[in-house]
Structure 1
Amino acid sequence: MTQLDVRDVRPMNRHPTIHDGFDDLEPGETLTIVTDHEPKPLFYEFQAEVERFDADGYEVEQRAPNEFVARFPKRDV
């Protein structure tokens, strides 16, 4: 499992950083991100643009008011 904590990444760099992390995964692996807000827009972006994103396996958990943990699994195509 690869984990990225993007809370300290500038907002304009967050999505590119997450996409790069996802691209580095092997099929069947999961990218776990920690962010300070609900990552639903990122989910929709991945669903629309990333062929290997397994939307059915996506999970998100709010651990604190400003801490969300989301799992973005990569599938075989």
Structure 2
Amino acid sequence: MTDAPATHAAIAHIDVRILPPVERHPRIFGTLHSLTPGQSLHITSDHEPRPLQYQLDTALPGKFSWEYLEQGPDVWRVEITRLDAGCDCCCGSH
């Protein structure tokens, strides 16, 4: 019997509601940097994550897609998918 490739990779998830604010963006960007093209990260938040989207688009343009899975008013969930395997070195500390 041969090993078939997995059709669905596990999706990383970060619930920022349980993290101290100072840890949120470093944890998110650390996880995003570890993704390979096609892999996704789900983020759950208690507020609109638009500043994160802006930071991602500014620091790493064209490397990730952004899709809202739920848009408030109490919970926001987004799926960020890695599109590009290029260098992430332009992203500074967060």
Relative to the length of structure 1, the TM-score reads 0.82
Indicate the residue corresponding to 1:8 in structure 2: 18
Alpha carbon RMSD of aligned pairs, Å?
1.6
Indicate the residue corresponding to 2:28 in structure 1: 18
SS in 2 for 1:33: strand
SS in 2 for 1:70: strand
Question: Which has the larger helix fraction?
Answer: 1
Structure with more relative contact order (C-alpha pairs < 8 Å, separation 6 or more): 1
Structure 1 residue 65: deviation in Å?
A: 3.1
| Pairs aligned (count) | 74
Cα 1:35–1:11, aligned 2, differ >3 Å: closer, same or farther? same
Sequence identity (%): 34
In terms of Rg, which structure is larger?
2
Relative to the length of structure 2, the TM-score reads 0.69
| Segments of 4+ moved more than 3 angstroms | none
Indicate the residue corresponding to 1:35 in structure 2: 45
Indicate the residue corresponding to 1:66 in structure 2: 74
Tell me how far apart the structure 1 counterparts of residues 55 and 29 of structure 2 sit (CA, whole Å). Answer: 10
Tell me how far apart the structure 2 counterparts of residues 9 and 40 of structure 1 sit (CA, whole Å). Answer: 18
Structure 1 residue 51: deviation in Å?
A: 4.5
Tell me how far apart the structure 1 counterparts of residues 26 and 62 of structure 2 sit (CA, whole Å). Answer: 16
SS in 1 for 2:17: coil
